[in-house]
Amino acid sequence: MASSAALGYSEYTVDMWWTDLNATEIGIFQHTRQRAKSRQFSKDSDIIGAVDVNGERTSLLTYRRALWEEAEGMNKRLVIKLFSEAMNWRGTMDMLLGRSLQLTIGAHGFPVAAFTVNLAGHEQLISVERSAHKWPLMPEDYSFFLIEGKQARFYRLRRDWIAIGADYSLFDEKGGKIGHLNGRVLNLGGRWDVRIREDHDNPRLNATLQLFCGMLRFRAAAERHIRKLVRGIKHGEVDAKIETHETDLYQNPRRQNS
């Protein structure tokens, strides 16, 4: 295998739009047409960004507006989806409230967001979680792993120590830096120029990172939401009822055979 210094990098840009008024959705029938192409593009879906490779648009990012903007309490959930330019579904990132609350309570109120990523054609549900191990003024970390065959590859995203934008470095399980998410602070909606070392470049990792960039637009609000729910549960003001879709994600797959 070539040394890391001799390996090249693949590059793409995740550009999150500041407003929902964009060329993709303009037109009175456009939303209906998108829904006809994919059931994953629900009635409350809004396109909020795009992935560009060498200046060519390859994917679109959406979120469920009603679940995030209009719901409250335990019904308020962040759902980010990734589609091809032709509106074929590629993946979904769901914020897991139950898991997030568990980790946050265990961290004495420090907000620890947990997400699950479901990718088209990939059997694994990928867990992406913020680390509760964080000292004040220290950079935050997220981690996840991918299963290829029976082999697991572990990844850690660490926010850069010194950065104007929301920059994250990507490390493998050996601690080697194998990628970078370069946040552009002057882009109001959020933009990340992503570089991945070619020996790690694959569709599953890239889709996970693209969904992660989409989540970063909502990161601060998501952490405030988790912190507020934990306080509400502590004071008996919030009924910690898990929504049906999320409950299904926690179910034992062998429960019907036991």
Separation in Å, CA 171 to CA 51, 90, 224: 22, 24, 27
Backbone phi and psi for residue 108, each to the nearest 5 degrees, phi listed first: 60, 40
Dist CA 204 CA 146 (whole Å): 8
Give the list of residues 6+ apart from residue 154 with CB closer than 8 angstroms, or none: 143, 144, 145, 172, 173
Collapse the DSSP code of 182 into the 3-class scheme (helix H, G, I; strand E, B; otherwise coil) and give the result: strand
**Which DSSP state fits 74?**
G
Tens of pLDDT, residue by residue over 164-188, are 668 999 999 999 999 999 998 655 5
Quick check: 169 and 158 in contact, CB under 8 A? yes
Tens of pLDDT, residue by residue over 113-145, are 999 999 999 999 999 999 998 877 788 999 999
Which tokens sit at 88? 């074929």
Tens of pLDDT, residue by residue over 99-118, are 999 999 999 999 999 999 99
208: left (phi over 0), alpha (psi -120 to 50) or beta: alpha
The per-residue pLDDT for 2 is: 45
